[in-house]
Amino acid sequence: MQQNLERALQRMVDAWDAGDPGRYAAEFTADATYVTFLGSVSRGRDQIERDHVDVLQKWRRGSRMRMEIRSVRMLDDDTAIVVAEGGVGKKRTIALDKVQTFVFRRDGDGRWSCAAFQNTKKKALALWVLRLADRRAKR
């Protein structure tokens, strides 16, 4: 099961790396919700594709995506929540500077597609403060 989800995420990464908004959007359900780290919302595969044309062909042209799965939770046989850390960049090393939550649905053909996506930029100072508070609370 997890291997098939990993393949679905890899298809997203491959489409991003190819700079192909159509292939990227094809990994989402027709009615998907896509929330960026800036707070903008795309609704539906067609809008996700339109919103990624300039991203992939202008602003982030030539960029690569890196993603590492942190957890997979199955809600039922055909629904999974995946939490990952990811990043996009052009340098040799791409920082995992965002936390991403995916809700995947499996269709009748067994293909996993993303029905909802939330991308959150990590804030180093805020994370440090939270870790400090957590340590103090455990004393």
Q: Could you write out the DSSP letters of every residue in 86-136? A: EEEESSSS----EEEEEEEEE-TTS-EEEEEEEEEE--HHHHHHHHHHHHH
Contacts of 19 (CB under 8 A, 6+ apart): 56, 57, 61, 62
Cα–Cα distance list, 16 to 57, 65, 131, 133 (Å): 10, 7, 33, 37
What percent of the chain lies above the pLDDT cut of 70? 92
53's tokens:
């044309």
Which residue carries 């805020």 as its tokens?
126
> What is the number of other CB atoms lying within 10 angstroms of the CB of residue 92?
6
pLDDT at 129: 59
The domain locations on the chain are 2-137
CATH no. of 2-137: 3.10.450.50
pLDDT in tens, 41-94: 999 999 999 999 998 888 888 789 999 999 999 999 999 999 999 999 998 899
Average pLDDT, rounded, for the chain? 90
Residue type, 66: R
Among 6-15, 50-59, 128-137, top mean pLDDT goes to 6-15
Q: How confident is the model at residue 136 (pLDDT cuts 50, 70, 90)?
A: confident
Q: Which two tokens stand for residue 35?
A: 């929330």
Residue 126 has pLDDT above 70, yes or no: no
The number of residues in the chain equals 139
* pLDDT tens sequence across 105-118: 999 888 999 999 99
